[in-house]
Every structure is written in C-alpha cells, then in structure tokens.
Amino acid sequence: MSNTRIERDSMGELHVPEQALYGAQTQRAVDNFPISHQRMPAQFIRALILAKAAAAKANVELKQLSESQGKAIVDAAQGLLEGDYMQHFPVDIFQTGSGTSSNMNANEVIATLASRLLGEPVNPNDHVNCGQSSNDIIPTTIHVSAALGLHEQLLPALVHLVQVIERKAVQVHPFIKTGRTHLMDAMPVRMSQVLEGWAQQLKANIGHLQDLLPSLQSLAQGGTAVGTGINAHPQFAAGFSRQLSNLTQVQFTPGKNLFALIGSQDTAVAVSGQLKAIAVTLMKIANDLRWMNSGPLAGLGEIELEGLQPGSSIMPGKVNPVIPEATAMVAAQVIGNDTTITVAGQSGNFELNVMLPIIAQNLLSSIELLANSSRLLADKAIASFKVNEPKLKEALSRNPILVTALNPIIGYQKAAEIAKTAYKQGRPVIDVALEHTDLSRSQLEILLDPEKLTVGGV
C-alpha cells in the first residue's frame, strides 16, 4: 500500500497512514468500527489530553517517570491543545465499551510527539499511560469533560438567560394579560409574573446542577484496571487530581471509592437527569413564547417575536418563531440523550461499565446543545420581543373569568351565571354583573380591576 508505514503491536503488523501521529492500536480501531463516522466529542478529547498531562506531572513528582520524559509528554499535550488536535483522533464513538481505543489513540499520538521532542522513544503504554488503565482514565475523562462543560458553557449560559429574563420582566411589568389554565382563559397575570416564573424555574435548575458538581469533580483516577489501583503509585490519585486542578482551574478530588466510580456511571446518569430537567424547562418557555406569539391575526398575538428570517417558501410575509422552535427541538434531543445514558448506565457489569463512549457523547452533546440554545433564546427571542398591548386589553375586557373576584360577595353559582351570560352574549363581564347584582359600577370597577386581580394572597 502506498503512503503508509508499518506499525506493530501485540497482535502483529498493519499499515498506518504515513503521516498519522497515531499507531497500530488506533488503526485497528479505525478498521474495526466504521459505524457512525462520528468521532468522540472535542470536549472529551481535550479533557483526555489534559488528563495525560496531569498524569505525567504526577508521575514525575512520584519518580515514576524521568523529568525529561514527563516534560516531553506535557509539552506534547499542550502542543496538541494549541492546534487542530481533532484531526489526530479518528476513532468512532461506537467502539469498545471501555473506551480503550480512544485511550490508546491519545497515548499513541502523545507518545509520537513526545518522542520527537525528547529525541528518544517515549512509549504509549509504559510512559504516557503510566499508572493508568483505560478503565479509570475514561470514566475520569467523562467526569472532567462534563465538569468543564458545565463550568465553561452551560452554567454561564443559564445565568445569562436568567439575567435577560429578569431584565425583560422589569420592562414588561406594566402589561397585564389573560392568564390561561388548560389553554383556557383564567384570571389575569402580569407579563412580568410569567417571566419571573421562568426565571425561577431556571434558578432552581442551576442550583440542582451545582449540587451535582462535587460528585462530578470526584474522579476514578488511581483505580486502574478494577479499582484496586494495581500498577499505580499509592499517591498517584491525589497527585493527579492536584495537577489536573492546576491545569483546569477546577477543583478535582480523588474518589472516595474507586470501585464505584469504575463499575458504575451513576453520577453521569444523575447529571443527565438534571440536564433533562433543564430541557423540560426550556421546552415550557419555548412553547409559552410560541403560543403568545401565535397569529398575528388568528392566534393569541400577545407578543411579537423578533423577525429573523422568512417563514415560508410559498406564503409571502410569513414569519415563524424559529428560535423557540429550535430550542424545543434541542429539548427533545436532550430528553432522548438522557434515555440513552440511562440505558448505558445500566451496563455496569461487575467491575466496569462497558458503554462509556456513548455516555460521554450524549452527556457532552446535551451540555453543548443546552448552552447554545439558552443563549440564543435569551438574545434572539426574549430580549427582543414586543408586547401587543391593545390585544392584551381587548382580551382582558372580554374575559368572563374576571367574575371569580366576585365569588366571596355573590357566591360561586351566581358568579358562574354571570360568566356564562357574558361569554354567550359577547359582553364585558362588568356590564352583565351590573344587571345581575346590587353592586354599583364603581364597586364593580374596583372589584374587577385586572391590575388588582394580579395580586394574590401570597
């Protein structure tokens, strides 16, 4: 074969692309798994490279590697992160369940670069993988990549979304709209109360996500093959976590029980469950926006979302709520990702979970999708929508449910009669109430004032 070289591993010889930095084990994985043609996520590979650098630093401290070997590995890892490193990581997501192929991919690439820097051989297994097993480095990398994704992407995006919603709530506070339950007219609410409800949902989700961070930042590293720590220095786990914390500025700690962290992926399942909860919240917000924006003539028409693009290839002038729609699709995808992670989390057979790559893929996909859609929802939908005040007032004036405020005075049955009559005749409820009660118009104007009705007993 042209443009290839011969590489060897414990199973024999095979051809590898001449310019590839990886070696035989990576090539075997490329040959064995032509399944999805999707590589492991860039966030995962970045965390794996950082983990290799942290391991090298810890092993130098513990005299498991020479200073020159450790420095070459660290420099190789840093050089990768400064460039287009994903071109060197071709292994499919659907690979061996331990992620061994991705681990060896990283070991081989870093060993090649480190050997060039050092001017002597750096071995993928003996040096780059020193004190490690795929069985602890891949679970560790799942935790690290997800933790970095939350700190760097999702949590800042959710905080931004909350801030935009709260600023918008102040702007729309003067507007009062018809409330709806079961999609049917209900008591009035302030527009700001609607938005404050969204903000509180998101704040609760942020809090739940933050509560999971300590578990996510607790690492399996040091357990090696089955959790016993065979072939790793007794202080390696502590040294690794300290070095990784320095590299990432996120505080990582050794796991309290490495058997649990290698044999299961309960933390990833829990984080995914919370990501699903965030998706449900975003779906609710997106759907509320779509309903309020519906129309502009035959729908609710309470707000007008920013027009971002033509909405139809055949109907001129049509504009659709594209950002809420995209957000709703993200929510659906995240819910599906969580189902996959739930099933994969059940594959902890004895001392190892064997669906690690797909857990990593879906967890990181959910984090990225939620982060990106949250920012778009904030900046291109919520921050810029306009309130249609005439439409709000028109609906409020004809809302027979306002009669609920008269219940304590005239009773539920009498109030129901007035509401039904007002609805049937298409008249304002205040006019019908004036005919069917002893209350004066001035009294009714006070009792049925929509602004006063937005203040409850809490």
Catalytic residues: 182, 312
- Asked if 177 and 302 count as a contact pair (C-beta separation under 8 A), the reply is yes
Tell me which residue of 57, 267, 280 sits closest to 147, measured CA to CA: 267
Phi, psi of 177 (to 5 degrees): -130, 165
Q: CB within 8 A of 130, min separation 6: which ones?
A: 55, 56, 59, 64, 65
Which token pair is 134?
């795929």
Phi, psi of 338 (to 5 degrees): -65, -35
- Asked if 306 and 371 count as a contact pair (C-beta separation under 8 A), the reply is no
- Asked if 450 and 396 count as a contact pair (C-beta separation under 8 A), the reply is yes
Phi, psi of 233 (to 5 degrees): -60, 145
* Bridge partners of residue 218, in order along the sequence: 253
Rounded-to-integer distance, Cα 143 and Cα 224, Å: 16
Pairing of strands 386-387, 303-304: antiparallel
What is the sign, positive or negative, of the torsion defined by CA atoms of 255, 259, 260, 261?
Answer: positive
Rounded-to-integer distance, Cα 85 and Cα 63, Å: 29
What is the C-alpha radius of gyration for the chain, rounded to an integer number of angstroms? 30
Which token pair is 456?
């409850």
Number of H helices, E strands in the chain: 18, 10
Rounded-to-integer distance, Cα 167 and Cα 295, Å: 26
- Asked if 3 and 17 count as a contact pair (C-beta separation under 8 A), the reply is yes
Rounded-to-integer distance, Cα 206 and Cα 105, Å: 35
Q: CB within 8 A of 23, min separation 6: which ones?
A: 7, 9, 16, 108, 111, 112, 124
Angle ∠(368,98,78) on CA atoms, nearest 5: 60
Rounded-to-integer distance, Cα 69 and Cα 254, Å: 25
Angle ∠(351,352,355) on CA atoms, nearest 5: 160
- Residue 365, CA distances (Å) to 85, 334, 407 in order: 19, 8, 51
